Structure 1
Amino acid sequence: MQITSQSAMWFLPFVCPLCLYVAWSDMRTMRIPNLAVIALLGVFMVVGLIILPLSEYGWRLTHVVVVLLIGMVLNAGGLVGAGDAKFSAAAAPFVAFGDMRLLMAVFAATLLSAWVTHRIAKYSPIRRAVPDWDSWDRGWDFPMGLALGGTLIIYLALGAIYGT
């Protein structure tokens, strides 16, 4: 992995609660709060400045712009929600560019797992515990915050263990 284990360990305790909140919020309301996206980017801006070399920090900030532009195009085409696009952009600088293939594999596995788990939970006793969640009754719409947040947590956890 290209991410250093040290940077992943620094990011993980700050990122994990935000990602869990995003997943919960997206399942509950089918929205990712802007405050959570801003907080995630703020974590990178502060912790990244402390832990990353300045040249790498600058390049990673460009990831935000590139992913946001791609997300805007996908959102305009109706392929992703606006919150998903914003969250992806805020999460982008946490990922080392050399780990993109690994990240895509982690995302694919997490997306499939999250979708199956959400669909099973929809028809289980779990639904009685949280009957007012919007994600239960949205047909084929899926709370992508569950998969996106999970992907970032898994990537950083793998980075903490296997990073350079």
Structure 2
Amino acid sequence: MAISIDLSLAITTAEAALFAPFVLPVCAWAAYSDLSRMKIPNKSVLVLALIFVVLGLFVLPLPDFGLRLVQLVVVLIIGIGANALGLLGAGDAKFAAAAAPFIAFDDLNQLLWLFMANVAAGIATHRGVKYTALSRLAPDWESWQRHGKFPMGLCLGGTLAIYLILGIYYGT
């Protein structure tokens, strides 16, 4: 019995190609900052949201643009609740909300699988490096010192970046 994986995504290739060059550096910024300081800067979240607002108007039909902004609000409300329950950090909630409009709603299932894989890989890699000599390459990173905490910006930024890259190749 063969396993078949459908990589086709609802995001258009044009969307992904337009967003990616602007979004990927912000994803790297958030990941690096969370690894080094255990904080996702508010500026990175604002820049990410601004990129969507400015570029989204050019690439999305107006009704889709509006629905994507609703996604931002819904994810922000869920994130605030999750933060209040202590499930994730405020920066994680804000970054996830700012990232939400870049995701085509019909890709939610694929995105969740991608995110789960990214979290597993991120935790394994971070913990693996933390307990080896490789951690000496960045000895002052806060994420090495925080026991029981994980820099989720690594996985949130990584997931959005990988999604957009996949969208360039497998988008509609």
- CA distance in structure 2 between the partners assigned to 1:109 and 1:30 by the alignment: 21
Selected match of 1:33 from 24, 27, 41: 41
**2:127 is the alignment partner of 1:119:** yes
For residue 169 of structure 2, what is the aligned residue in structure 1?
A: 161
Match for residue 73 of structure 2 among 59, 65, 76 = 65
Following TM superposition, the consecutive aligned residue runs of length 4 or more in structure 1 with deviations greater than 2 angstroms are: none
Q: CA deviation at 1:149?
A: 0.3
Q: Percent of counterpart pairs with the same letter?
A: 53
- In the TM superposition, residue 55 of structure 1 has moved relative to its aligned partner by 1.0
Q: What residue identity is the alignment partner of 1:117?
A: T
TM value normalised by structure 1: 0.98
CA deviation map 1:2-54 (0-9, x unaligned):
10011001000000000001000000000000000000000000111111111
| Map of 1:95 onto structure 2 | 103
Unaligned 5+ residue runs, structure 1?
Answer: none
The count of residues paired between Structure 1 and Structure 2 equals 164
Q: Which residue of 1 aligns with 2:24?
A: 16
CA shift for structure 1 position 140: 1.8
* Residue among 12, 21, 27 paired with 1:4: 12
- In 1, distance between residues paired with 2:85 and 2:157? 23
- Root mean square deviation of aligned Cα: 0.6
Instruction: State yes or no: 1:146 paired with 2:154.
Output: yes
Q: Which moved more, 1:83-92 or 1:124-133?
A: 124-133
User: 2: distance between equivalents of 1:47 and 1:118?
Assistant: 33
Deviation at 1:125, TM superposition (A): 2.4
Q: What are the superposed Cα offsets for residues 115-141 of structure 1, whole Å, 9 maximum, x if unpaired?
A: 000011112222112111000011120
TM-score, structure 2 length as denominator?
A: 0.94
Residue identity in the other structure for 1:48: G
Opposite residue 65 of structure 1, the aligned amino acid is V
